Structure 1
């Protein structure tokens, strides 16, 4: 859908940006877990990462404006 809506001269840019964000979204948590695991206990690192993910999700959800669905 995004490919059809994009300007034909910028479709490759859009696709590469999409994949860049998708790969970043999968790599960053893995790197964060590896860094946390090196600095602290192996049982605490995943808990901290999970709490950070939940807090980020809640902050994003609570910052959205509430609109009535019509």
Structure 2
């Protein structure tokens, strides 16, 4: 076996037991990176965090008609 497989062997076995992967986490990471790009130029980290909440929360901010 290669060194890479041996280094990650516990994780490989854990996947067969749980069938859980990190796809959802990677999706969230993608959305956070999008928020980071949209927040570029803001003065504070608070604005970045607010942008991340708005994107991840998927709020419907349309005005009711």
Q: Same fold (TM over 0.5)?
A: no
Larger RCO, structure (CA 8 Å, separation 6 or more): 2
> Which structure features the higher share of helix residues?
1
TM category, shorter: 0.3 to 0.5
TM-score (norm: length of structure 2): 0.35
